[in-house]
A and B are shown apart, each in its own frame.
Chain A
Amino acid sequence: MKQDSQITQELFDALLEWLSPDRDMAGRKYEEIRKGLVRFFLFRGCDEPDTLADETINRVAKKLSSFNFEKNVQTITYFYSFASNIYLEDVARRKKRVVFDDIERNLAGVTIHPAHRAQDAKLQCLEECLRQRPESERALVIRYYAGEKAEKFEIRKAIASELCLNLGALHTKVHRVRALLRKCIELCLNKGSL
């Protein structure tokens, strides 16, 4: 997304002053608001949450002098109204993408799409990467993802109980393993494509 022009130092100072007369407190509030905006854009499915959050803050800063503070609206509500508009602008800008692997059928004959080979390669890399991890992590990944529907929930409860974790902590643990696997798979795929 192309950002509007950056705000001036004067506008930025006015924004901080509005957040709090205490500069340190203003800085903390600014960071909290920015993180909240990034989270908003992220979980609304936007690809550039940081850029959109900065754009929101820039527009608020530029319009600050025109706000009617007598209405006693919460600070966050000002940011939210701008963020909502920027979100809608982002949606309009993004065209619907086909983000899935797609295999083209040739009805006259049979063709193998490269995406299938890519999936095979990823699976092989995943297997190799799991072999490099401790056996307990491999077992964790297999048990965590093998089940489906209601059975899956029971399995995960059982794993959490075995590891003396709640479900949220278990998810975090698996999330960390996945992050390590992701890096390993990327390296493996890059090696394979050389």
Chain B
Amino acid sequence: MAITDSKLRRYLLGDLSEDDARETDLSIISNTHSDEDLELAEHELIEDYLEGSLTSGERELFEKNFLISDRRAGIFDELTLLKQYAQSAVPTKSLFEPKTESTENYGFWRRLLGANAVPVTGLAVVILIFLGWISWKVLDNSTDPFKALENEYSDLNARSFDNLEEYRSFTNIDLTPGTFRSSQTLPTFEHAKLSDNVLFRLALPGPMPEGSLINATLRRNNVTVFSQEKLRVYKNPESDEVRLIFPKAVLQPGRFQIKLEGPSSSSPQMLYAFAIQ
């Protein structure tokens, strides 16, 4: 009997009943499914974990039952690297050259509009762009509840954080760059205990040029929720760091990643991971 994809996933997570697990074991031993199918299922599971698509129960099973061999750790490492690279790379051209447009349509429109085809088309384009801009302005604020907050916090984060004593009453979160992939090691904070504004101190891997300005993007469960630009770099005895405030409102329970981007396109990105529960 063929194993369904969902059953195979639960098998890999160690989430099947004894009977179902036995049936799947025998199916694997008998080569009912190809090695490629099984490997694809492993890879998809790893990608779902990296993308935050697993439930908390599945994540626990993933860490306890799935990611337990050097081979899988190697695949995990590789996919993390590839996804990190791909998501930051500039999109390249399509795998094939774009097909050339057929001239038949141009001929049809020209026939329909006659000699006024060009000015009428031009006017239509202008109107469409204007309507699109109006729609974007309307939708932008209505679908992105944190847009207004970003502007407000942009002013806040432009202030000096030289005197950290002033921010004693804020929850302070210190992070170092890297990828936390185990729930046992991910810095985790309780939402209820956060102050309304949370001061983040993000260590940088090395000294930055004087006057550097950094952009920060906050992602929750792999979705961008907040960004701040032109953040200052501060010196401390151990290394340079970025200091910024995020509102508690954006720090809802979930897994977070802060991406810092340096002043130039060749500067490395720095990633910081944590969780709120």
Contact = CB atoms under 8 A, between A and B. Distances in A.
Interface of A: 32-33, 35-37, 39-40, 42-47, 76-77, 79-80, 83-84, 94, 96-103, 105, 107, 109-113, 115-117, 119-120, 122-123, 126-127, 130, 135-136, 138-146, 148-149, 152, 159, 162-163, 168, 171-172, 175, 178, 182
Contacts of A111: 176, 203, 238
A141 B190 CA distance: 38
A135 B93 CA distance: 9
B87 interface: yes
Nearest to A97: B68
Contact of A168 (B36, B175, B187): B36
B178 interface: yes
Contacts of A142: 85-86, 89, 91-92
Contact of A99 (B31, B53, B67, B175): B67
B87 A80 contact: no
Nearest to B48: A149
B26 A171 contact: no
Contacts of A138: 92
Contacts of B241: 110
A10 to B, nearest CB: 26
A138 to B, nearest CB: 7
Per CB-CB distance, the 4 closest pairs between chain A and chain B, nearest first, are: A36-B29, A145-B86, A100-B181, A110-B203
B68 A80 contact: no
Contact of B94 (A94, A107, A139, A144): A139
B182 A102 contact: yes
A163 B236 CA distance: 53
Interface residues of B, number: 69
Contacts of B28: 36, 39-40, 43
Given A109-B236, A146-B89, A168-B36, 9 more contacts: A43-B12, A43-B28, A45-B69, A100-B182, A102-B180, A110-B201, A112-B177, A130-B85, A149-B53
A84 B12 CA distance: 15
A152 B52 CA distance: 14
A146 B91 contact: yes
A166 B92 CA distance: 22
Interface in B228-277: 236-239, 241, 268
B176 A168 contact: no
B25 A40 contact: yes
B38 interface: yes
A80 B69 contact: no
A146 B79 CA distance: 11
Given A76-B26, A141-B86, A112 B176 contact: yes
Nearest to B183: A100
A109 B92 CA distance: 41
B161 interface: no
B108 interface: no
B78 A178 contact: yes
16 contacts: A76-B29, A79-B29, A94-B68, A99-B182, A100-B67, A101-B178, A103-B178, A110-B238, A111-B238, A113-B178, A119-B179, A120-B268, A139-B94, A141-B85, A146-B89, A152-B51
A121 to B, nearest CB: 11
Interface stretch (B39-47, B127-135, B138-146): B39-47
Interface string B68-93: 11111100101101111111010111
Contacts of A84: 22, 25
B152 interface: no
Contacts of B22: 80, 84
B200 interface: no
B71 A42 contact: yes
Given A45-B69, A98-B185, A168 B178 contact: no
Contact of A123 (B35, B76, B84): B84
B170 to A, nearest CB: 16
B82 A178 contact: yes
A139 to B, nearest CB: 4
B183 to A, nearest CB: 10
B95 A172 contact: no
B176 A116 contact: yes
A59 to B, nearest CB: 16
Nearest to A91: B68
Nearest to A162: B95
B89 A36 contact: no
